[in-house]
Amino acid sequence: METLRGRTVVITGAGSGFGLEFARLGAREGMKLVLADVQEDALDAARHELESAGAAVFARVVDVADAGQVEALADDAESRFGPAHLVFNNAGVGTGGLLWENSLADWEWTLGVNLWGVIHGVRTWVPRMLDASRADPAFEAHVVNTASMAGLLNPPLSGVYNVTKHAVVSLTETLHHDLALVTDRVHCSVLCPYYVPTGIGRSGRNRPTAAHGDATRSQRVAEAMVEKAVGSGRVSAEDVARTTFESVAARRFYIVSHPQALGGVARRAEDIVALRDPADPFAARPGQRESLIEALRAP
């Protein structure tokens, strides 16, 4: 997809992080913006900023874990702006800690946003895109699902998050193959960023009240580890948004923020083929494993 001006882009998780940067870039390209986020104040701020810059904006508070809310957004956005040409199923939350210490609420919340949010997005928008392509020979569309490098690797202390992101990678790879069977004008990509400052480490601010509980030691250790990694990152959410739009224009499927992290993906593939135990994810960071062991095993 090379022409963006005048076309419609849908973005979930649009109030911050990658979503907000996608919206800003879409506005600069002259796109009509459909913005969704579960955090109303952040969404209002994004809408005000983008409308003040001259963009056409339709914004709504949406919990992407709720299929009905996603479908209602699509109905009303289509009535306002017509068919969507570009959809970012981007909303995401983070959960950490030892796998067996994650509560049922941890699983339900994270799966609901990270995986079911993408499922609802695909089921809602792709059929509409296909209908539009059949009605208009010039119509073309693209779906970008936000996964993570944690969808290609399995770092410890983030098992619930890893599961959701691996599922998004699998879903999107399958979507790529399925679309190729039925159309040449609707395409998709999977975005796999590494540690980028986006605010996902503070996603608990939007967690349902009933899902809150006291953090375990491992969850506190995981949070500190992520905050340190994100804080030292040099790639910004704006950088990732720019790379993503360039990838959509070039019709690239895999989009990564840190190509150097793909070495770990190669090692994982080699381990699978050789039937070896998974390699130490901290092999390149001396002292990391020891510090985690000390933090988790101390009395």
97 secondary structure, DSSP code: B
Question: Which string of DSSP letters, residue by residue, matches 19-85?
Answer: HHHHHHHHHHTT-EEEEEES-HHHHHHHHHHHHHTT--EEEEE--TT-HHHHHHHHHHHHHHH-S-S
* Closest among 190, 265, 199, 260 to 226, alpha carbons compared: 199
Cα distance between residue 36 and residue 113, in whole Å:
13
Neighbours of 56 (CB within 10 A): 16
Cα distance between residue 259 and residue 47, in whole Å:
33
C-beta of residue 187 within 8 angstroms of C-beta of residue 85: no
* Cα 224 → chain centroid: 21
Judge residue 284's burial from the number of C-beta atoms within 10 Å of its C-beta, 0-12 exposed, 13-18 middle, 19 or more buried. Answer: exposed
C-beta of residue 74 within 8 angstroms of C-beta of residue 83: no
C-beta of residue 142 within 8 angstroms of C-beta of residue 186: yes
Residues contacting residue 44 through CB under 8 Å, at least 6 positions apart: 59
Residue 254 catalytic? no
Q: Read off the tokens for 133.
A: 């392509």
Instruction: Kindly name the residue from 161, 194, 195, 254 that is annotated as catalytic.
Output: 161
Residues marked as catalytic: 161
